[in-house]
């Protein structure tokens, strides 16, 4: 029996310094060299994810932006993307305008990812741009209106940041006036910051897990997570494990709870689990 191991990044594989520790990277690379099937499913885009994963020698594609994009780490090309229909995209843009909410609107065309914005309302948004604009894996582009993007490129993802009080009414209204979208609101690891993310309902970490399981030919899929956006993947996997620092919803969805992210819990678990499978 072959097992696919797929993990979230922030709060799960990554430690308190938001990095893959040298110890975890060494374990995972040794297992990949031995034939283990390993990938990640993250809310991050390629620019920020690959910076964190540069020490891992992937053989499989990785799932980005909650399953909206599949990325080949060897060719640095996208093998699959899922777009939001223009009616839904326009509705989301109108609701953002109503509340005066800024966002990154991610669009896709000709194997290029664009991060479109109108202005920066927080230092967090400015920092996000400054840290990633030189990577080449996505282009940052300022626009006068988000509506100008419709029909020009595929709109694939909305990412809003703010306080809980700012984002909750937007989240509630979008759930009322749109159909066929995933609308996720969750607390970031940065204190006081919340995310509101919108993408097509056919994209998810769960669908990414199914895709990678079929792609790899694995007979079993095992996943790891810590946050609300990991729960659907955890329900879909054959086995799922929450790190000890996970939110209660992830712990309740998991097969079991393992150690803390900052103690290399994911890599250590995979090593022991793979060893048991090898013995069998």
- Token pair for residue 153? 């490129």
Superfamily of domain 3-81+203-279: HAD superfamily/HAD-like (3.40.50.1000)
Query: CB–CB of 159/106 below 8 Å?
Result: yes
Task: Specify the DSSP class assigned to residue 67.
Answer: G
Domain-wise residue ranges, the chain? 3-81+203-279, 86-200
Q: E strand or H helix at 154, and its extent? A: strand 154-162
Report d(CA 120, CA 236) in Å as an integer: 37
- CA dist 27 and 241 (Å) reads 18
Q: What is the rounded distance in angstroms from the CA atom of residue 182 to the CA atom of residue 206?
A: 12
CA distance 134 to 137: 8
For 50-97, the pLDDT digits (tens) are 989 999 999 999 999 999 999 999 898 999 999 999 999 999 999 999
pLDDT tens digits for range 170-186: 999 999 999 999 998 98
pTM exceeding 0.75: yes
Task: Quote the strand ranges of 37-153, DSSP E.
Answer: 37-40, 62-64, 69-72, 77-81, 104-109, 112-117, 139-142
Q: 195 and 171 in contact (C-beta within 8 Å)?
A: no
Q: What is the mean pLDDT of residues 243-255?
A: 98
Q: Give the number of other Cβ atoms within 10 Å of residue 77's Cβ.
A: 12
What CATH class does 86-200 carry? alpha beta
Q: How many C-beta atoms surround the C-beta of residue 92 within 10 A?
A: 23
At residue 192 the predicted structure's pLDDT band, cuts being 50, 70 and 90, is confident
């Amino acid at each position: 029996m072959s097992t696919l191991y797929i993990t979230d990044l922030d709060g799960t594989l990554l430690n308190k310094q938001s990095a893959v520790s040298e110890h975890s990277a060494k374990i995972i690379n040794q297992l990949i060299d031995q034939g283990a099937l390993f990938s990640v499913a993250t809310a991050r885009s390629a620019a920020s994810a690959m910076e964190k994963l540069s020490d891992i020698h992937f053989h499989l594609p990785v799932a980005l932006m909650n399953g909206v994009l599949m990325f080949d780490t060897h060719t640095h090309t996208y093998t699959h993307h899922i777009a939001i229909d223009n009616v839904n995209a326009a509705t989301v843009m109108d609701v953002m305008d109503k509340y005066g909410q800024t966002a990154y609107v991610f669009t896709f065309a000709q194997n290029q990812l664009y991060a479109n914005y109108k202005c920066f309302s927080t230092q967090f948004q400015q920092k996000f741009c400054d840290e990633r604009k030189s990577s080449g894996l996505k282009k940052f582009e300022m626009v006068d209106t988000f509506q100008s993007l419709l029909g020009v490129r595929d709109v694939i993802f909305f990412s809003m940041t703010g306080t809980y009080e700012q984002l909750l009414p937007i989240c509630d209204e979008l759930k009322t006036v749109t159909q066929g979208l995933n609308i996720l609101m969750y607390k970031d690891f940065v204190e006081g910051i919340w995310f509101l993310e919108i993408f097509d309902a056919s994209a998810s970490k769960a669908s990414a897990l199914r895709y990678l399981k079929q792609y790899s030919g694995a007979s079993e899929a095992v996943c790891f997570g810590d946050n609300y956006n990991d729960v659907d993947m955890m329900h879909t996997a054959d086995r799922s494990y929450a790190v000890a620092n996970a939110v209660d919803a992830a712990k309740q969805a998991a097969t079991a709870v393992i150690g803390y992210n900052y103690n290399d819990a994911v890599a250590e678990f995979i090593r022991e689990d793979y060893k048991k499978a090898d013995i069998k």
